[in-house]
Amino acid sequence: MNCNGFKKHLHDYCTGDLPLDLRGALERHGERCAGCGELMRTAQELTCKELTEFLNDYIDEVLSPERKAVFERHIAICPDCQAYLQSYRRTMEMAALSMKRAVAGLPDNLPPDLIRAILAARSQ
C-alpha cells in the first residue's frame, strides 16, 4: 500500500470497516512511512465517541490548547466527525433562526386588554 491508498482507507480502518487484508497492509505502511504513521497515531488518540461527547466544550472554546489540538487533528482526518460538527453547528443556527421567525409576526405592542389587566391587578 502507498500513501494515497493509506489515506483512502484510513477512515474505514478507524471505523472498523476495513477488510482484514487491507487492514494489515495499512498497518504495515503506517509502520514504514513516518508521515502516515503520524496520521495513524492521530486517528487513534481520540475516538469519534469521545469527540462527540465533548463537542459542546469544543464549540464553547473551553478546551485546553492541547485538548483542542487533539480534537482538530481528529476532525482533520475523520469525515464523519467533520460532517457531525458541521451539522451540529448548522442545527444551532437553524434553531435560532426558526424560533426568531416564530415570533416575527407578533405585534410590537401587548394587547390593550392585557395591559389594562396587568395595571388593574397592580392597583388591587
Partner 1 sequence: MTEPVLGSARPTRVFSDTDLLTALRAGDSSAFERLVTEYGPRLRATALRLTRNEADANDVVQETFLAAFRSLRRFKGNSQLGTWLHRIAINAALMRIRGRERRPELDIHDLLPRFGDAGQHLEAQLSFRELPEESAAREEATGLVRGAIDRLPENYRNALLLHDIEGLEYPEVARQLGLTLNAARIRIHRARQALRKLLEPHFGGRKA
The pattern of x and - marking residues 104 through 123 that bind partner 1 according to CB under 8 A reads --xxxxxx--xx-xxx-xx-
Residue in 29, 52, 72, 76 binding partner 1, rule: CB under 8 A: 52
* Cα atoms in the Cβ-side hemisphere of radius 13 Å centred on 7: 6
Residue type, 86: Q
**Stretch in the footprint of partner 1 (CB under 8 A) among 24-32, 34-42, 52-60, 65-73:** 52-60
Distance CA 71, CA 60 (A): 13
Reduce the DSSP state of residue 94 to 3 states and report it. helix
For the chain, the distance separating the N- and C-terminal CA atoms, rounded to the nearest angstrom, is 84
Residue in 25, 33, 55, 77 binding partner 1, rule: CB under 8 A: 55
Size of the site for partner 1 (CB under 8 A): 46
Distance CA 91, CA 118 (A): 38
Positions touching partner 1 (CB under 8 A) are 14-16, 47-50, 52, 55-56, 60, 79-84, 86-88, 90-92, 94-103, 106-111, 114-115, 117-119, 121-122
